[in-house]
């Protein structure tokens, strides 16, 4: 039985991957030490997800290992070696604010942890496919330099703008403010590419927009839609940080994302990069997301505004999915923003 190794297996994308590949008949080994609780407190804990995965999937093992610990990781790779056919690397420190306050932890988790996994893949399972969950924050705040204009509920581009259908992979990562989190993930992104192009591993970077779903342990510092829905339903109010709440995010359900991993697994490439998110099919501003929750639940949510945006935060970001769709035409999106929010509401 082929082995799939998943880091951050109790997180949003990791847990979706566990369920998906267990159903496909793989033996799945999860690596997760619930560092999210350490970052964000009890509300960020993913222990409930881990317990649910273990109950649901007989072919799943969960290992409490930190990806910064090369020696402990090496024991796992040495045990399974060439039985490992796929590594899905989702473990990360995911917050702008936390990365700024604790840059050494941020870099060691995001950058050194990724390098550890690549080196061990090269050594023990060279032919395995390596999927890395990157981020659109590699582009820093360059998207804010686009010719945006203000509408009633969102910032937007004109339809004849080159980037109207979304930001593609050729968009510059230079001459901008990234945030410390963005920098550590950019290193990881580039080193994953390098192990593909230079060493020959079958690697891919998925530069995600707003990835969401019901298994997200949304917290104040990370988890836009999940946290927004949870807090809006609990307190009937939501604090909006910067840009009048009109900042736009594209929203991709974790199920649709994991199906991207599956398409890559079947026809892998080396050192490839894809921008991935909801695209024009699924996107909203913060105000629009709150309005959808109000409509679905027939309630009123008080909006509280903070003027100063987070450093490096995007005013508008929609992913151009053209490259991935061209390479993998069988992939289709199942969830739009309305369907995503309806599911989040039902699970709160």
Angle at 272 between CA 259 and CA 14, to 5 degrees: 40
Nearest CA among 187, 208, 193 for reference residue 321 = 208
* 300: three-class secondary structure by DSSP: coil
Most distant pair of Cα atoms in the chain: their distance: 57
- 184/99 Cα distance (integer angstroms): 9
- Reading the block at residue 231, the tokens are 């807090």
Burial class (CB in 10 A: 0-12, 13-18, 19+), 96: buried
- Model pLDDT, residue 221: 45
pLDDT given at position 216: 60
- Among 333, 342, 129, which Cα is nearest to 250's? 333
Q: What is the pLDDT of residue 75?
A: 98
Instruction: Confirm if 250 and 317 have CB atoms less than 8 A apart.
Output: yes
Task: Please identify which residue in the block is written with the tokens 């309630």.
Answer: 299
Q: Which residues contact 334 (CB under 8 A, 6 or more apart)?
A: 253, 255, 256
Which pLDDT does position 218 carry in this prediction?
Answer: 52
Specify the pTM: 0.93
Contacts 24+ apart (CB under 8 A), 291-296: 291/153, 292/337, 292/338, 292/341, 293/228, 293/229, 293/232, 293/233, 293/341, 293/345, 296/341, 296/342, 296/345
Between the alpha carbon of residue 3 and those of residues 49, 83, 129, the distances in Å are: 21, 6, 11
**In sequence order, what are the residues at sequence separation of 6 or more whose Cβ sits closer than 8 angstroms to the Cβ of residue 325?**
331
CA distance 127 to 124: 9
Token digits of residue 142: 């360059």
The mean pLDDT values, 10 residues at a time, for the chain of 348 residues are 95 95 97 87 85 95 97 98 98 87 96 98 98 96 96 97 98 94 96 98 96 68 70 85 93 96 98 98 94 92 86 89 98 95 88
How far, in Å, CA of 258 to CA of 268, rounded?
14
CATH of domain 3-346: 3.40.50.720
pLDDT at 327: 98
């Amino acid at each position: 039985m082929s082995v799939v190794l998943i880091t951050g297996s109790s997180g949003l994308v990791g847990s979706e991957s566990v369920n998906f590949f267990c159903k496909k008949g793989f033996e799945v080994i999860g690596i997760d030490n619930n560092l999210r609780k350490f970052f964000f407190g009890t509300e960020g804990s993913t222990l409930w997800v881990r317990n649910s995965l273990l109950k649901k999937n007989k072919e799943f093992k969960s290992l409490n290992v930190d990806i910064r610990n090369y020696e402990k990781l090496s024991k796992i790779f040495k045990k399974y070696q060439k039985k490992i056919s796929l590594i899905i690397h989702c473990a990360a420190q995911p917050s702008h604010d936390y990365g700024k306050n604790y840059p050494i932890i941020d870099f060691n988790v995001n950058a050194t942890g990724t390098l550890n996994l690549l080196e061990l893949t090269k050594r023990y399972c060279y032919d395995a496919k390596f999927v890395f969950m990157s981020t659109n924050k590699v582009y820093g705040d360059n998207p804010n330099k686009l010719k945006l204009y203000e509408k009633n509920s969102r910032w937007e581009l004109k339809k004849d703008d080159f980037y109207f259908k979304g930001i593609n992979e050729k968009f510059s990562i230079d001459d901008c403010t990234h945030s410390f989190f963005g920098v550590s993930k950019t290193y990881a992104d580039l080193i994953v590419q390098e192990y593909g192009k230079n060493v020959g591993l079958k690697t891919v970077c998925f530069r995600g927009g707003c990835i969401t779903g019901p298994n997200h342990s949304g917290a104040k510092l990370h988890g836009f839609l999940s946290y927004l829905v949870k807090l809006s339903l609990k307190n009937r109010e939501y604090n909006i940080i910067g840009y009048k709440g009109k900042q736009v995010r594209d929203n991709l359900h974790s199920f649709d994302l994991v199906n991207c991993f599956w398409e890559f697994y079947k026809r892998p490439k080396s050192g490839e990069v894809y921008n991935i998110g909801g695209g024009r099919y699924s996107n909203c501003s913060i105000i629009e997301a709150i309005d959808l929750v109000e409509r679905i639940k027939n309630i009123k949510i008080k909006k509280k505004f903070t003027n100063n945006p987070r450093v490096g935060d995007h005013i508008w970001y929609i992913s151009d999915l053209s490259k991935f769709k061209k390479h993998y035409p069988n992939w289709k999106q199942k969830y739009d923003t309305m369907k995503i929010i309806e599911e989040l509401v039902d699970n709160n």
